[in-house]
Structure 1
């Protein structure tokens, strides 16, 4: 997950990007160490625990700042999942991507207008959320999925982060208003596809999605109701037969954390049988 311009050095009294920096530590010289007895030397395990707790709190405060922008409460209990997910993602260079087969790509002046892809059937962990705004829904849905990914499952293990996290969005007949209810979904990593771990949260459900063909168009930036509707209509315009693919719902695929300012996203239309 992106940490934006936030720094983890903990020096001075500055504040940047919602992170609170800690007090400046004194410098210990070699001569000082020579003069210490073993009892006076700092306990490295205690110091490591303190540093981990401090970093956990910083991450939580950062997400709470993001949450306040979208009027979403990020409770204290999210500190451990946020810390674990962030640590595991940072230690993994390439997050597992949902596999697909590219059928065709249409471009104009070097810009990708859309891609036609085939996705195999697969298991996804899904949660239905209904909040006043789209941003609130995806933030709350993502937090529920974070808990599932970070040990709150029948295996008791970190499952591994995959991308994209997708949101199924519904539109009215005029195609100008988004439904308040959305479905946020996480693709189970390859090693968990055969026997998906069961969620502890009853609102998280593992579903097998059928194989499908989708039409995808990339875009960057925030994902709110206005930007999504704009991208929705843009993809409809570049498709030769948009009415074949617009049957009341579409998908927003997010490749960046909801906390990222300049997110990498895609709009997906599903080909109807």
Structure 2
């Protein structure tokens, strides 16, 4: 097995096999401001911090490229993310039109469009950040599609521990509450034309074998058309 496989295979498979494991809750005690340690080891998308507020952070991400699954219908974020991971893992291992292996990056994100009821299926799209060296011509693959982000603003809340089907909703609601009555809330609503909690994204940075200093994030992306809010 190559050095690539020796590093990437345990990282992805351990993440897949442990998504249901709650584990000890090693929270950072903060909702923003922790630089994900994983990004010191593998490539992550670049961003600038625009503002740190009470319980939230506003970031501006540079233009970036993501490889994404088709929407996955499921009741469980954990199960849908696992399904998406397998597709993306096969992709970076060479199951693409070019037969090309691709370096692992972080975070892997899951966009959630929640259902109208607790027992209805939601829609989940799982995405892998494409390394810079592959962004000009990412290998196509059946069942996956490329998303090209222009510079994007994101409201962010961080949380520790392991992502579960319960805590993601709680953290998204907490982010929404922290943004209430701010200019950022207005910008998000204007950008989406929706309630701020309707669509959000979960970003996961850590291997499940890392119990301390875990960093997960809720993202609410939005566009800024008329300049930054005051």
TM-score by length of 2: 0.69
Moved more, 158-167 or 247-256: 247-256
Runs of at least 5 residues in structure 1 that lack an aligned partner in the other structure? 1-48, 71-91, 108-112
TM-score by length of 1: 0.59
1:228 match? 168
Cα contact 1:125–1:187 (8 A) shared by 2: yes
Moved more, 94-103 or 260-269: 260-269
Matched, 1:160 2:103: yes
CA separation of 1:66/1:172 partners in 2, compared to 1, >3 Å: closer, same or farther? closer
What CA distance in whole angstroms lies between the structure 1 residues aligned with 2:15 and 2:124?
Answer: 22
Larger Rg: 1
1:22 match? none
What CA distance in whole angstroms lies between the structure 1 residues aligned with 2:166 and 2:104?
Answer: 28
Cα contact 2:92–2:104 (8 A) shared by 1: yes
| CA displacement at 1:254 relative to structure 2 | 0.7
Cα contact 2:15–2:208 (8 A) shared by 1: no
Could you list the structure 1 runs, at least 4 aligned residues long, displaced by more than 6 angstroms after superposition: none
**Which of structures 1 and 2 has the larger relative contact order (alpha carbons within 8 angstroms, sep 6+)?**
2
Pick one of 85, 90, 93 that aligns with 1:142. Answer: 85
What CA distance in whole angstroms lies between the structure 2 residues aligned with 1:69 and 1:247?
Answer: 24
For residues 154-190 of structure 1, the C-alpha deviation after alignment (integer angstroms, 9 at most, x for no partner) is: 332321111111110113579x888522000011100
| CA displacement at 1:64 relative to structure 2 | 11
Count of matched residue positions in the alignment of Structure 1 and Structure 2: 190
| CA displacement at 1:130 relative to structure 2 | 2.1
2:134 match? 192
What CA distance in whole angstroms lies between the structure 1 residues aligned with 2:76 and 2:108?
Answer: 18
SS of 1:145's partner is helix
